[in-house]
Amino acid sequence: MNKQELCLWKTTAFLLFFFFPLQPNAQVKKEDSGKMRVASCQFPVSSDIASNLKWIEEQMVEAKLKKATAVHFPECALSGYPGVDMPSLDGFNWVELRKATDSVLSLAKKLQLWVILGSVHQLSGNNKPHNSLYVINTAGEIIDRYDKRFCTSGDLQHFSPGDHFVNFKINGIPCGLLICYDVRFPELYRSYSQAGARFIFQSFHNARSWKGFIHPHIMPVTAQANAASNYFYMSLTNSCVPESWPCHFITPDGLIQNKLTKDVPGVLISDIDISDKYYDASAPYRAEAISGKLNSGTTVKDSLSSNRRAIR
């Protein structure tokens, strides 16, 4: 961020904080509305924690000015992504990361924003850290943390895999979290569907690649299929360092409602209302399929059905 951009950010923050004071009861009124405005953010994630923090704080302020309920950031947005943004976590500045995380918590409280923050979560001893998403509420508190369950073989050089799902509600909307490579495992989405989730925040880091790489073609469409199969809204966020693919917002019918321009920083604003109805072809049989009944209707007992090698 250059000096002019930083000056603009500070001016915007001043106007927001002092000329548009927050109403203490505003969130209470919306608690069970079933409505939410999501700000899906992309910026050039790097190994520079201070630079990442400036982008995050700037986009949080922009999201608030655009009346967002929740702001969603990419995988490892605050820390940088080891193996891509930096060779490894050797010599990583954990003290700076903790201070930067505290700054995000403070701003979330000031702005009364929900924040889904990608970062690295330190463990004890020689255990590798988790690749995580923190759920930060409007009081600036971390209420839960999702740890990437399916790490790639490259990830496993730097991270310990997670072992749990995260379910929480924003304005009465049941939400869940996933990270990047999790997109390849439909079982995760089915589990969230069983738990009643209606919205999935999924953070990616598919950046610093090359022209013609397959990820921009397969990642969004795979997410679309998972959204349609389970009737989810989905926010997809990504780093925008070239080559990348942009933030997407997907509706429960599997269609892309909107997306940003690739390789350019931005904030994608999307509104949802879970009372809205979308095309859902699998609705009549989804619950039965999840429970293990893998056909619709009632099967018959008939020799001409059971003998699969004969016509009559």
Q: Domain containing 165 — which CATH number?
A: 3.60.110.10
Domain that holds residue 217: 36-275
Model's pTM, two decimal places?
0.90
- State pLDDT tens for residues 54-95: 999 999 999 999 999 999 999 999 999 999 999 999 999 999
Strand partners, 147: 132
In a domain, 254, yes or no: yes
Contact 70, 271 (CB under 8 A): no
Q: Determine whether 165 is exposed, middle or buried from the number of CB atoms within 10 Å of its CB (0-12, 13-18, 19+).
A: middle
Mean pLDDT (the chain) is: 92
Taking CA atoms, 142 is separated from 50, 116, 233, in Å, by 21, 10, 23
Number of domains in the chain: 1
In a domain, 100, yes or no: yes
Interacting residues of 120 by C-beta distance below 8 A, sequence separation 6+: 76, 79, 82, 89, 92, 97, 129, 130, 131, 132, 159
- State pLDDT tens for residues 154-167: 999 999 999 999 99
- Quote the pLDDT of residue 19: 46
In a domain, 306, yes or no: no
In a domain, 284, yes or no: no
Contact 42, 235 (CB under 8 A): no
- Quote the pLDDT of residue 14: 54
pLDDT at 194 over 50: yes
In a domain, 84, yes or no: yes
pLDDT at 279 over 60: yes
